[in-house]
Amino acid sequence: MIIDELKKYNERFALNCCHGDENCNEVFEFTDFNSKLILSAPHATCSYCNKKEKISDLYTGALVQYLGNKYKISHIVRTKYMPQKMLISDFIREKALQNHYFLDIHGFNKNIGADICLGVGYLNALNYPYLQQIIDVAEKYKLKTTVNHPDYRGTAGLTGRYQKEFNLPNVIQIELKQYFRNFINYPDVVTEITLPFFAEIIEKYGREKKLQNP
């Protein structure tokens, strides 16, 4: 049943060769559960980056929507491709959502000896209050992690842009190896490892009562 739900969520992102639903009114869609944490999938569909089309981070949109709706966590997903730069950081500023924690979910395909890349951008990893907890949860599920891999630091994405503007450690970029997000070909892996991993992280964030205010 979980996989059926994920497949249903994924339909909209897979439309038009992963260009998404061109009839959506906004490129980014925000679902508000009034939570301190926001999950985001900025590349749920193809996007425009460095003057060219960037392929989507497959299945990230469906995972974020499933987790957000199940655990009542606010979330943002890219709904469609636009042939111009549309940044999630600009959307967050426009909607005045900066006073939150963010887990920015991406996907990678390179063979780098890790299952999850955690990007903390320009700031020192020691400044991140939840980073070690995420690493500990990953270890519990036998997920190999690396922090600030040269290709996945998050400096060009929401993590880096948020830091430049607010200089706070409130955004962590989480890059998932495709094996751990591909619920079509590896359903047991996603239901038994990926989703429980995120569920525990979400629960740990939920214990926090005070946000760092930009």
Tokens of 43: 């590349």
pLDDT of residue 209: 45
CB 124 within 8 A of CB 191: no
For domain 2-206, which architecture applies?
3-Layer(aba) Sandwich (3.40)
pLDDT tens over the chain, length 214 residues? 999 999 999 999 999 999 999 999 999 999 999 999 999 999 999 999 999 999 999 999 999 999 999 999 999 999 999 999 999 999 999 999 999 999 999 999 999 999 999 999 999 999 998 999 999 999 999 999 999 999 999 999 999 999 999 999 999 999 999 999 999 999 999 999 999 999 999 999 876 544 444 5
pLDDT of residue 214: 52
Phi-psi region of 53 (alpha: psi -120 to 50; beta: other; left: phi over 0): beta
> What's the pTM?
0.96
pLDDT of residue 198: 98
Residue the block writes with tokens 């020691």: 126
The Cα 39–Cα 118 span in angstroms is 14
Residue the block writes with tokens 């920015």: 104
The residues that bridge with 37 in the sheet, in sequence order, are 101
pLDDT of residue 129: 84
For 91-150, the DSSP string reads HHHHTT--SSEEEEEEEE-S--S-SEEEE-TTS-GGG-TTHHHHHHHHHHTT--EEES-T
pLDDT of residue 206: 78
CB 118 within 8 A of CB 172: yes
Spans of all domains in the chain? 2-206
